[in-house]
Amino acid sequence: MSCFVEIDGSYLEGGGQALRNALTLSVILNRPVRVVKIRANRPKPGLSHQHLHGVNLLRDISNAEVNGNTLHSTELTFTPRTIAGTMYKVDTRTAASITLIYQMVMPVLLFSGTSSRIDVTGGTNVSFAPQVEYMQQVLQPNLKRFGVSFDLKVLHHGFYPRGNGRCMLDLEPLRSLNAVQLNDFGQFRSVKGAAYYAGRLPKCIAFDMQHSAEREIHRLWPDHECNIQVFKHPPDRARDNGAGIILTALTSTGCVVGAATVGEKNIDGHLIGSNASCELAGYIKNEICVDTHMQDQLIIYMALASGCSRIRAGALTKHTRTAIYVAEQMAGVKFIIEYGNFGQTLISCEGIGQRNAYM
């Protein structure tokens, strides 16, 4: 087992983050990995349906040899071979997060030799995962700075507990990732967003979300534009009940930070709108360039990029610290953390300049 890099899945966040990042980097770097204590800090440790689908998808993409890819397994070994970009289809048959599956495979397919399409059925808007709109409106412009090009289409929205959502992700490969400088907030320009509802839920829920969010932003910045649209997903695009809000703030330097909240049981539109707008307002007031939910998602790209990347975030999350731990173990990079005023944190990393062997 000495040829395997061993990753402790119970480190800090202790959920799926360590597993996802370890396998992603394993494929890109062609380094066999052994993940132990998988999701040890969760009520039901080991591989869930969602994680198992991600593992098996990466297995297929990289023609890997895998041991331990069974439901509830707490240990897994993964030996990748080649990366094959093509058409892949996954049906989770649950409300498992589509965006977390994409988060796992996107960096890998950037280093394939051809365009890829990943068709996934599951949950588009579920708790404890990025909403699909966040991926489109916040992740996409941030990854564009690294040189990443992708197109995400939502064919059907899916909510907890049934899922039934379906998305299509088209991704172009690249030769290498650019280093990025996301440390100059500039001047706050505007807020835009959308409050949505679906199924049998009344439209007043979405209007409550809209009014609460706009009221908070206008209270703090009465002279700035705040445009939040209300809409219902039609029955042919969303069969079940669901509601939520996505807000983004834009700055003069091109920073895009976001806040998204999805409704659960006993949906309170005013509370959902207030929570999302208060979160976003915190980023604006403290001039945060990378929001709380984006921090950990950029760590892999920083580690692989050509040159030194710097991002200005808020307090580091456990997800981010876990992503840093895995990247340092797998890629041999070093992340530098500097603490500033108003809870700001500057995260820096000299990337390894990973090249696409298939281009």
The pLDDT, as a whole number, for residue 15 is: 86
Identity of the residue numbered 165: G
Q: How many alpha carbons fall within 13 Å on the CB side of residue 96?
A: 20
User: What CATH code would you report for 188-285?
Assistant: 3.30.360.20
Secondary structure of the chain: what % helix, strand, coil (to 5)?
30, 30, 40
Distance CA 321, CA 11 (A): 9
Tens of pLDDT, residue by residue over 282-294, are 999 999 999 999 9
Residue (of 259, 304, 254, 253) closest to 279 by Cα position: 259
Distance CA 53, CA 47 (A): 9
Identity of the residue numbered 162: R
295 belongs to an annotated ligand binding site: yes
Characterize the bridge pairing of strands 116-122 and 87-91. Answer: parallel
Q: Hey, where are the domains in the chain? A: 5-178, 188-285, 290-359
Phi–psi pair at 112, nearest 5 degrees? -90, -175
Cβ neighbourhood burial of 185 (10 Å; 0-12, 13-18, 19+)? buried
The pLDDT, as a whole number, for residue 299 is: 98
Distance CA 173, CA 108 (A): 9
> Which residues are annotated as catalytic?
319
Contact 129, 123 (CB under 8 A): yes
Contact 304, 28 (CB under 8 A): yes
294 belongs to an annotated ligand binding site: yes
Residue (of 204, 192, 212, 260) closest to 232 by Cα position: 204
Distance CA 152, CA 175 (A): 21
297 belongs to an annotated ligand binding site: yes
290-359 is a CATH 1.10.3470 domain: no
Q: Using the CB atoms, write b or e for 17-40: b if 16+ within 10 Å.
A: bbbbbbbbbbbbbebbbbbbbbbb
Torsion sign across C-alpha atoms 59, 62, 63, 68: negative
Compute the chain's Rg from CA coordinates: 20
Contact 299, 162 (CB under 8 A): no
Ranges in the chain, pLDDT < 50: 1
Contact 17, 322 (CB under 8 A): yes
Tens of pLDDT, residue by residue over 200-243, are 999 999 999 999 999 999 999 999 999 999 999 999 999 899 99
296 belongs to an annotated ligand binding site: yes
Residue 160 in tokens: 């907890």
Global pTM?
A: 0.96
Residue 331 in tokens: 């890629």
The pLDDT, as a whole number, for residue 286 is: 96
Contact 135, 102 (CB under 8 A): yes
137 belongs to an annotated ligand binding site: no
Phi–psi pair at 271, nearest 5 degrees? -70, -40
Contact 351, 307 (CB under 8 A): yes
Q: Which CATH class is domain 5-178?
A: alpha beta
The pLDDT, as a whole number, for residue 333 is: 98
DSSP-derived secondary structure for 161-205: TTB-EEEEEEE---S-PBP-EE-----EEEEEEEEEEETT--THH
For 316, which DSSP code? P
